[in-house]
Amino acid sequence: MVGKNQNKKRVDGDKLRGLIRQYKEKDEPTLLRNKIFDLMHPEIMVIVKGILSKWGRFEDETEIVSLSWDCFLFSISKYDFDNYQVWPHFRRYSKYFLLLHYSNEQAQLKKDEYLKDFGDVFSEFADEGSNIEEIKRFREALPLEEQEIFDNVIFGDHPPAYKSGEFQKKKDRSGGISYYRYYTLKETFKRLIKHLIK
């Protein structure tokens, strides 16, 4: 059962986009981040509970609140307001986060449903697979800036090739690394993920 917040109306994506833009541009964004979470929390709870229910996993309310917070932080860190619609982005990245989070507990889940969602997220690489434990271990061993590129490969989301040095200034997606290094890592990760999933 979804908690009492279920009846709250979902906040408009355009309003959230403006707030997230402010959050990304602030030096001390904690209060604004918490405000955004407060607005999004009821819907993220619904998303998390829906995914876990599909997998046959039922957590207590405290754990759901904790997972919702983790999904929010993970998703907002990947959000690029120039490219994404708010709610589809948060649904996609929440599912990805939960796939990683429960990767070591597949035996306790409805495996077919878990693997179907795995196939949705990793659709560029395989229709289904069970090697997400290896993917998780590899990803966690990467430096943070390379984890971002790894996640971009999973979803096929990449920054454009900026002209006249602008790419170097665009730090929210690429971590400010060079064009050549970004795309070399992208191709390397793509081949590696295909190998790990097979």
Taking only the tens place, the pLDDT of each residue in 3-26 is 444 455 677 777 888 888 888 777
% of the chain surpassing 90 pLDDT:
25
The whole-model pTM stands at 0.73
Please tell me the distance from the alpha carbon of residue 28 to that of residue 15, in angstroms, as a whole number: 20
Burial readout 68-78 (b: 16 or more C-beta within 10 A, e: otherwise)? bebbbebbbeb
- CB contact at 8 A, 95 and 87: no
Q: Bigger pLDDT: 164 or 158?
A: 158
Range from 41-45, 55-59, 85-89, 110-114 carrying the lowest mean pLDDT: 110-114
What pLDDT shows up at residue 167? Answer: 46
What pLDDT shows up at residue 49? Answer: 95
Contacts by residues 115-119 (CB-CB < 8 Å, ≥ 24 positions apart): 117/51, 117/54, 117/55
Maximum alpha-carbon separation in the chain: 53
Task: Give the closest residue to 39 by CA, choosing from 75, 11, 79.
Answer: 11
Identify the top-confidence range among 24-33, 65-74, 94-103, 152-161: 65-74
